[in-house]
């Protein structure tokens, strides 16, 4: 439980994030959970409802206590760093509004963690996944739908949420797609023939009306296709092909980026295609390439010479 004043401040900050940064609903909800959890901890830690003045007096020791409590609940370094980032953002905004010094909060160091590298699959494995998806159901239109979605993820490097957000108004699929990604940011994505053909095949077989503004990809009962259904079909394909557990719908997007980079693609162009806000996010794919190179080196270098 948190005080009315703290709750009001949290809601005002979330509204500001939504308005100024055009943050996605999922991002806003994650911010709300992280900061509300922090405020609830401080209420219990300090022994009473924390209004705005007590919040302005939080010390570095209080921050360490919060982080220690989080670790005791098996919250990993990556998740804790994300929570701390949200709390710091909230405190920057709150300190400017209320006129206090937020040094203790802002000086708190995030726990160190090793960033996870994207885990792509090989070009041959990506092709096998796309071809095998077609055999997971006896219903022709559903088989065509699943193949179209997976082809779209790999062929255009879309997030699954982006692929499933396409609507009838996007038909017929042309040479490019206008995609709305995270934070409402738009980007233009080229569409290769294989993607266009897969979607056209699905559209011909789909038994539901795809007129605007209906969703393009439908579930068995006609509603918008649930991402979990795509995850399940990829999981079945993965087991059939003996591919690693990292073979997920999102891995098709990773594979798109890695295979473009390996083929000599420009890093900034790939950043634009993926819709990454920061080039540093895209640069993770160069680390994948380096890691693969070192693996080959380790296996093949004549160490005895």
Instruction: Choose, from 145, 159, 218, 259, the residue flagged as catalytic.
Output: 159
Least Cα distance to 210 among 253, 148, 153 occurs for: 148
User: Do residues 191 and 175 lie in contact, with contact meaning Cβ atoms separated by under 8 Å?
Assistant: yes
250 included as an active-site residue? yes
CA distance 188 to 177: 6
Q: Quick one: residue 141, left, alpha or beta (phi over 0 = left, psi -120 to 50 = alpha)?
A: alpha
Q: Are 27 and 182 in contact (CB under 8 A)?
A: yes
Is 182 catalytic? The answer is: yes
Q: Is 33 a catalytic residue?
A: no
Catalytic residue among 78, 88, 182, 187: 182
Bridge partner list, 215: 167
Distance (Å, whole) CA 36 – CA 287: 35
Catalytic, 285? Answer yes
Which of 196, 253, 254, 259 is labelled catalytic?
Answer: 253
- Known catalytic residue at 276: yes
Q: Is 253 a catalytic residue?
A: yes
Contact yes or no for 257/282 (Cβ under 8 A): yes
Nearest 10 degrees: Cα torsion 108, 114, 115, 117: 180
Please identify every residue annotated as catalytic: 159, 182, 250, 253, 276, 285
């Amino acid at each position: 439980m948190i005080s009315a004043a703290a709750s009001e401040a949290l809601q005002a900050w979330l509204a500001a994030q939504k308005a100024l940064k055009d943050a996605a609903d999922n991002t806003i909800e994650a911010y709300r959970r992280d900061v509300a959890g922090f405020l609830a901890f401080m209420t219990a830690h300090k022994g009473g409802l924390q209004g705005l003045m007590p919040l302005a007096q939080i010390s570095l020791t209080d921050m360490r206590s919060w982080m220690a409590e989080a670790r005791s609940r098996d919250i990993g370094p990556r998740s804790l760093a994300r929570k701390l980032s949200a709390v710091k953002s909230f405190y920057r905004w709150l300190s400017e509004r209320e006129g206090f010094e937020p040094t203790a909060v802002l000086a708190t160091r995030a726990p160190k963690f090793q960033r996870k590298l994207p885990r792509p699959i090989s070009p041959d494995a990506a092709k096998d996944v796309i071809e095998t998806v077609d055999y997971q159901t006896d219903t022709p239109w559903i088989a065509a739908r699943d193949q179209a979605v997976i082809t779209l993820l790999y062929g255009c490097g879309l997030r699954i949420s982006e692929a499933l957000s396409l609507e009838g108004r996007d038909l017929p699929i042309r040479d490019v797609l206008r995609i709305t990604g995270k934070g409402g940011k738009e980007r233009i994505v080229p569409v290769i023939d294989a993607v266009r053909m897969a979607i056209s095949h699905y559209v011909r077989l789909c038994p539901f009306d795809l007129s605007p503004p209906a969703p393009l990809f439908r579930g068995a009962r006609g509603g918008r296709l649930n991402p979990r259904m795509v995850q399940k079909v990829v999981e079945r394909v993965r087991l059939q092909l003996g591919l690693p557990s990292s073979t997920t719908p999102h891995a098709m997007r990773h594979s798109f980026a890695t295979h473009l980079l390996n083929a000599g693609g420009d890093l900034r162009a790939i950043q634009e295609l993926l819709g990454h806000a920061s080039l540093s996010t895209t640069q993770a794919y160069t680390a994948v390439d380096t890691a693969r190179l070192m693996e080959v080196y380790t296996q093949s270098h004549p160490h005895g010479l």
